[in-house]
Amino acid sequence: MTSPPFSLQRAKEYGNVNQKDYVDWLAEFAWKIMTVLSESGSFVLDLGGAYEKGKPIRSLYNYKILIKFCEEIGFKLAEEFFWFNPSKLPSPIEWVNKRKIRTKDSVNTIWWFSRSDFPKANVKNVLVPYSERMKKLLSSGEKYYRPKLRPSGHDISENFNNDNGGAIPSNLLQIPNSESNSKYLNSCKIAGIKSHPARFPKSLPAFFIRFLTDPGDLVLDIFAGSNTTGEAAEDNGRRWIAFEENREYLAASAFRFIESFDEKELIAIYNQILGDRTISIKIPRTERQLNLF
């Protein structure tokens, strides 16, 4: 599961390759992922949309990535997801706010790739609450609706009145990215360290981790940033590995797993990781060992 630096026009502080080279650049990583991904494994890629430079025209880069990864590298598109983030700010200001000729772009594409046609997946692990209407139907279904053969030919009578513990989620994931009070953010504040500027919300990787892996399986984020994915994996009893090239982001990511809110202790751990030293911390919640190097 990963969210790479996006192909935006304006250079982000964590570095960006330009749009033209972006697809090829990301494909280099995808080739490597293909060599280590298990037969039943999945590769979930979150990509934000982008405009072409100076024009109110969308870049096709996320679709080019999809096609290249499937047609050249050999991934299968298991399903496409759309992450709707209602708290996203309007952008680019020129087209959306000033000239008012484009709407607010608040959806990221998330490509769920796999090696095989049947990657491990279990929707039962990610059921969502039933709608109020469905709850009513479940409590006294016969009164409201008598299932019959649908015009499409589907016979839904057999499974209709069963309470399965929740509804099947759709591929539109509505998750606000508005975290303001997490352990990670608070620790960064206490230690006086800038938090990562482009985190995704923990429920996003958590959804795919629960959906596509079992406890004990291994989750890898190759562009880990603040390591939201690692924390979601840890919360859900999965093993995980995180790669991050910026040592400052890596160092602050350790805050996710440290119980202490002591300024001196946080800064000491941060500096130790920055100092290029291997460090091992016991994660108190799970008693597992966190190794940073």
Ligand X SMILES: C[S@@+](CC[C@H](N)C(=O)[O-])C[C@H]1O[C@@H](n2cnc3c(N)ncnc32)[C@H](O)[C@@H]1O
The residues that are catalytic are 3-4, 46
Judged by beta carbon, residue 51 or residue 200, the one nearer ligand X is: 200
Judged by beta carbon, residue 193 or residue 198, the one nearer ligand X is: 198
Q: Rounded to the nearest whole angstrom, what is the least distance from the CB of residue 239 to ligand X in the complex?
A: 18
Number of residues that bind ligand X (CB under 6 A): 17
- CA nearest to 225, candidates 188, 192, 260, 189: 188
- Residue in 19, 42, 85, 226 binding ligand X, rule: CB under 6 A: 226
Q: Tokens 């293909």 belong to which residue?
A: 34
Does position 108 interact with ligand X (CB under 6 A)? The reply is no
Which residue has the closest beta carbon to ligand X?
A: 225
- Residue in 113, 228, 254, 266 binding ligand X, rule: CB under 6 A: 228
* Contacts to ligand X from residues 1-20, by CB under 6 A: 3-5, 14
Contact between 46 and 198 under an 8 Å Cβ cutoff? The reply is no
The 243-272 contact track toward ligand X, x by CB under 6 A, reads xxxx--x-----------------------
- CA nearest to 255, candidates 198, 192, 205: 192
Query: 42 is written with which tokens?
Result: 């999945």
Only segment of 86-94, 118-126, 220-228, 231-239 that touches ligand X (CB under 6 A) = 220-228
Judged by beta carbon, residue 190 or residue 241, the one nearer ligand X is: 241
Query: 192 is written with which tokens?
Result: 């006086």
DSSP 127-157: -BPPPHHHHHHHHHHHHH------TTS---T
Peptide bond into 205 cis (omega under 30): no
Contact between 284 and 259 under an 8 Å Cβ cutoff? The reply is yes
Only segment of 78-86, 88-96, 138-146, 237-245 that touches ligand X (CB under 6 A) = 237-245
Phi, psi torsion values for 58, nearest 5 degrees: -75, 145
279-283/288-292 β-pairing? antiparallel
Strand partners, 130: none
Does position 200 interact with ligand X (CB under 6 A)? The reply is yes
- Residue in 43, 81, 113, 223 binding ligand X, rule: CB under 6 A: 223
Does position 48 interact with ligand X (CB under 6 A)? The reply is no
- Residue in 92, 119, 225, 230 binding ligand X, rule: CB under 6 A: 225
What is the chain's alpha carbon radius of gyration, rounded to the nearest angstrom? 22
Judged by beta carbon, residue 199 or residue 210, the one nearer ligand X is: 199
* 138-143-149-154 Cα dihedral, nearest 10 degrees: -10
Judged by beta carbon, residue 160 or residue 243, the one nearer ligand X is: 243
- What CA–CA distances, in Å, run from 215 to 26, 210, 226, 233, 286? 29, 8, 22, 9, 13
Q: Rounded to the nearest whole angstrom, what is the least distance from the CB of residue 108 to ligand X in the complex?
A: 11
Q: Which residues bind ligand X (CB under 6 A)?
A: 3-5, 14, 196, 198-200, 223, 225-226, 228, 243-246, 249
